[in-house]
Amino acid sequence: MAKQEQSHLGDGDNIAGNKTVYVNQTLPESKNLPSPTIPTYYVPSEIAQAKKYYIPTRWQKDPPSEEQELSDAFLHNNPDLLIPHLMDRVFTDKVERQSDYKFFLVLADSGMGKTTFMLHLFMEWQAKKRSKEMRLYHIAAPQTWEEIALIKRLGKAQETILLLDAFDEDRAAVEDYQGRLRDIVTQTQDFYKIIITSRTQFFPTKGDILAETNISVNRGFQKIRHFYVAPFDNKDIEKYLNKRFGGNLKFWSNTKKRQAKAIVDKVPHLMARPMLLAYINDLLEHQKSYNNSLEIYEAMVARWIKREADRVPEADRQGFSEHLYQFSIDLAGHLYQNPVEGQYLIHYKALEDFARKHQINLSRIEMQSRSLLNRNALGYCKFSHKSVLEFFLLKKYLSNIEFAKSFDFGKMNQTRKFYLECGQQIIAKTANQIGSTQVSEKMLQTLNQANEGAHMIGANLSDRDLTNIDLNGAVLIGARFEKANMTKALLNIADLKGALFLLTDLTEAELRGTDMRGCILVQANFRGANLGGASLRWNDLRATILEEAILKGTDLRQTLLTDLQYRYAEEQGAVLSPWEETVKTFAEVPLAYDQ
CA angle, residues 359, 361, 367, in degrees to nearest 5:
110
Q: Which of 319, 450, 440 is nearest to 394 (CA)?
A: 450
Per residue in 97-139, pLDDT (tens digit) is 667 789 999 998 777 889 999 999 999 999 998 989 999 999 9
Beta strand spans in 329-480 (E)? 346-347, 373-375, 380-383
- Calculate mean pLDDT across residues 493-504: 93
**What pLDDT, on the 0 to 100 scale, is given for residue 446?**
60
**What pLDDT, on the 0 to 100 scale, is given for residue 369?**
72
- Calculate mean pLDDT across residues 450-461: 72
pLDDT at 558 over 50: yes
- Calculate mean pLDDT across residues 411-434: 80
Any idea which of 286-290, 449-453, 554-558 has the lowest mean pLDDT?
A: 449-453
CB atoms within 10 A of CB 471: 25
Any idea which of 142-146, 241-245, 271-275, 512-516 has the lowest mean pLDDT?
A: 271-275
Residue 25's pLDDT band (cuts 50, 70, 90): very low
Top-confidence residue, 284 or 583 = 284
**What pLDDT, on the 0 to 100 scale, is given for residue 442?**
60
Domain boundaries, the chain: 3-229, 234-272+279-309, 314-397, 449-595
pTM value is 0.67
Any residues with CB less than 8 A from the CB of 329 and at least 6 apart, and which?
392, 395, 396, 399
**What pLDDT, on the 0 to 100 scale, is given for residue 15?**
29
pLDDT at 236 over 60: yes
DSSP-H helix ranges across 94-213? 114-126, 142-153, 171-175, 177-188
SS3 readout for 364-392: HHHHHHHCCEEECCCCEEEECCHHHHHHH
Any idea which of 258-267, 500-509, 521-530 has the lowest mean pLDDT?
A: 258-267
Beta strand spans in 416-540 (E)? none
- How many whole angstroms separate alpha carbon 468 and alpha carbon 298? 33
pLDDT at 3 over 70: no
- Calculate mean pLDDT across residues 500-522: 95
Per residue in 210-225, pLDDT (tens digit) is 888 888 777 788 899 9
- What are φ and ψ of residue 222, in 5° steps? -60, 130
CATH of domain 449-595: 2.160.20.80
What percentage of the chain exceeds 90 in pLDDT?
40
Residue 167's pLDDT band (cuts 50, 70, 90): very high
Top-confidence residue, 164 or 260 = 164
**What pLDDT, on the 0 to 100 scale, is given for residue 257?**
75
**What pLDDT, on the 0 to 100 scale, is given for residue 30?**
46
- Calculate mean pLDDT across residues 494-505: 94
- Calculate mean pLDDT across residues 242-262: 68
Any idea which of 253-257, 322-326, 448-452 has the lowest mean pLDDT?
A: 448-452
CATH 2.30.30 fits 3-229, yes or no: no
pLDDT at 492 over 70: yes
- CA of 242: how far to CAs of 252, 269, 285, 545, 592, in Å? 10, 19, 18, 60, 50
pLDDT at 59 over 90: yes
- CA of 146: how far to CAs of 4, 25, 37, 179, in Å? 10, 7, 16, 20
Any idea which of 77-91, 283-297, 470-484 has the lowest mean pLDDT?
A: 283-297
Same fold, 3-229 and 449-595: no
Pairing of strands 220-229, 212-217: antiparallel
Any residues with CB less than 8 A from the CB of 108 and at least 6 apart, and which?
114, 197, 199, 200, 228, 229
How large is the greatest C-alpha to C-alpha distance in the chain, in angstroms? 102
What percentage of the chain exceeds 70 in pLDDT?
83
Q: Which of 79, 115, 49 is nearest to 233 (CA)?
A: 79
- CA of 520: how far to CAs of 442, 493, 536, in Å? 21, 18, 10
- How many whole angstroms separate alpha carbon 108 and alpha carbon 481? 42
**What pLDDT, on the 0 to 100 scale, is given for residue 21?**
33
**What pLDDT, on the 0 to 100 scale, is given for residue 457?**
85
- Calculate mean pLDDT across residues 330-335: 95
Q: Which amino acid is at 342?
A: G
Beta strand spans in 336-444 (E)? 346-347, 373-375, 380-383
- Calculate mean pLDDT across residues 399-409: 87
- Calculate mean pLDDT across residues 317-335: 93
**What pLDDT, on the 0 to 100 scale, is given for residue 591?**
46
Any idea which of 114-118, 194-198, 267-271, 477-481 has the lowest mean pLDDT?
A: 267-271
Q: Which of 237, 198, 226 is nearest to 109 (CA)?
A: 198
SS3 readout for 572-594: HCCEECCHHHHHHHHHHCCCHHH
- The helix/strand/coil state of 343 is strand
- How many whole angstroms separate alpha carbon 416 and alpha carbon 509? 31
**What pLDDT, on the 0 to 100 scale, is given for residue 2?**
37
Top-confidence residue, 97 or 265 = 265
- How many whole angstroms separate alpha carbon 172 and alpha carbon 539? 61
pLDDT at 1 over 50: no
Top-confidence residue, 394 or 371 = 394
Any residues with CB less than 8 A from the CB of 442 and at least 6 apart, and which?
none
DSSP 498: T
- How many whole angstroms separate alpha carbon 24 and alpha carbon 7? 7
Residue 406's pLDDT band (cuts 50, 70, 90): confident
- Calculate mean pLDDT across residues 422-447: 66
Top-confidence residue, 168 or 590 = 168
Per residue in 195-211, pLDDT (tens digit) is 999 988 788 888 889 88
Beta strand spans in 514-579 (E)? 555-556, 575-576
Residue 444's pLDDT band (cuts 50, 70, 90): low
- The helix/strand/coil state of 530 is strand
Q: Which amino acid is at 170?
A: D
Residue 323's pLDDT band (cuts 50, 70, 90): very high
**What pLDDT, on the 0 to 100 scale, is given for residue 450?**
53
Residue 307's pLDDT band (cuts 50, 70, 90): confident
